[in-house]
Amino acid sequence: MQQLTPTINGQPLTMSSREIAQVVESRHDKVKQSIERLSQRGLVTFTPVGEKSETGRPGVVYHVSKRDSYVIVAQLSPEFTARLVDRWQELEAKAALPSWAQNLSQAARIALEDLSTQLEHFKDETHRLNAVCNDLAANLKAGLTPVEFCRMLNGVNLNRVQPLLVERKRLLKTQHGYRSAAAYRDKLFTERRYLNRDDRPCEKVILTQKGAKWLYSQYEQGQLEMRRDWDGKYTHLLFEQNSEAA
């Protein structure tokens, strides 16, 4: 099976005589002379390409294939072969990019690679968080209030759970307890009404599974108020018990 030649902007990937001169730390004219001699002996082929020099005077560089570049470097300075390998890896990595990215500057490509790495990290973190939330929801007992739920989360200031949800407009404070804000009723919370020991009516907010996932994500994002003696670890009681059982 014939191996496909890498291309960049639709053209076969080559290396210029100027790049080879940089790799072997030699003068460009000396490299061109070596290419010409090897070509006369039928060992390599090259394509002359005009270029503008820094002084504005036109010049000519020779473009050669990957195979021929190794022949040339072996003739000039074999000790620089490792550098040539590294340079070809850079060229082939660039050729593997989408066409719109091939003409980006080095700084832009580095920034793009960094962004790609960050996106992979966030994807992994999202998968992890979803797994944690799903496990937590699967273990959720029916009838847990936000405070009861947060009792299983290491470090949460339980006295501030419901007041904080009121401040965030998720809950409403009433004379009989707490109620869900209308926008979140039957989504994050359900409600129960009951009589206390004094036969006085009370209202209690219960988390739905979606509400439990949301509250846990608030915990992991540092959006809940923590106790002063919190050890800085985001852990969950159910997971610790499962780990110890294992």
- Per-residue pLDDT, 239: 43
- Per-residue pLDDT, 4: 43
Q: What is the pTM of this model?
A: 0.44
- Per-residue pLDDT, 99: 53
Angle at 103 between CA 101 and CA 107, to 5 degrees: 80
Residue 217 has pLDDT above 50, yes or no: yes
End-to-end CA separation in angstroms for the chain:
52
Query: For residue 241, what pLDDT band results from cuts at 50, 70 and 90?
Result: very low
| Choice between 81 and 166, residue whose per-residue pLDDT is larger | 166
Provide the percentage of residues in the chain whose pLDDT is more than 90. Answer: 22
- Per-residue pLDDT, 55: 63
Segment 31-79, tens digit of pLDDT? 999 899 889 988 888 999 888 766 666 788 999 988 888 888 888 877 7
Segment 108-141, tens digit of pLDDT? 656 656 666 776 766 666 666 666 666 665 555 5
Q: Measured between alpha carbons, how far is 97 from 6 in angstroms, rounded to an integer?
A: 11
- Per-residue pLDDT, 139: 55
